[in-house]
Amino acid sequence: MRTPEEEAAAGAFRLAMGRLAQGVCVVATTAGGHDHALTANTVTSVSLDPLLLLVCVETDARFHDAVREAGVFGVSVLAADQRAAADWFATPGRPLPGQLDRVAHHRGDLGVPLLDDALATFECAVRDIHPAGDHSIVVAEVRVSALGRSTRPALVHFRGAYSALT
C-alpha cells in the first residue's frame, strides 16, 4: 500500500510520461488453447544485431503467463482507424475465449495472431524476461518483420488520449 506521498509521486509520473507520444500496438500470443492479446505502447526496438525488441507486460495480466508459456508473440502496429481494437484489447476483464473474434486477423509464420491491415507487424521469439516492479520486460528476437500495404496515419497515445500521426 502506498503512502499519500507515493500516490502523488505516481500520479505526477503518470502525467509526465503521458507527454511522451507513443505508438500503439496489439501484442498477441496463443497459449493454453486460447489467444491472448493486449494493447501496448511500451514496444521498443533494442538492437539491430541481433534484431531485438522489448515489450513491458504487467505481471498480473493473463498475457504475462501466456507469453512465458508460448515463448513467441506477435506485434501489430495500429493505424489511427484501428482505435476500436486498441480500446478492446485494453479492456480489463474481457472474456478470454474468442477475444480476437472482433478483429480481422491472421496467423503469422510463427503461428502468432497478427491484426490484418496493421501498419507493420513483428513475429518474435522470447529471449529474456526481466522483472521490473509491477511489470516484466520481455526481450524478444524478431524473426519476421513486415510492412503493411497502407500509408494510413498511425495511432499514437499522448496526454492520456489517442490521436493520429501522419
Domain ranges for the chain: 24-165
Per-residue model confidence (pLDDT) at position 150: 78
Q: Find cell 541481433 and name the residue.
A: 50
162/157 Cα distance (integer angstroms): 5
Cell numbers found for residue 70: 508460448
Write the CA distances from 61 to 26, 64, 146, integer angstroms.
14, 5, 27
The CATH fold of domain 24-165: Pnp Oxidase; Chain A (2.30.110)
Q: In the chain, which residues have pLDDT < 50?
A: none
Per-residue model confidence (pLDDT) at position 2: 87
Give the sheet arrangement for strand 51-58, strand by strand.
Answer: 34-40, 25-31, 72-77, 120-132, 135-147, 51-58, 43-48
Per-residue model confidence (pLDDT) at position 17: 86
Per-residue model confidence (pLDDT) at position 105: 97
Cell numbers found for residue 162: 489517442
User: pTM here?
Assistant: 0.94
Per-residue model confidence (pLDDT) at position 77: 97
Q: Which of 42, 154, 40 is nearest to 89 (CA)?
A: 40
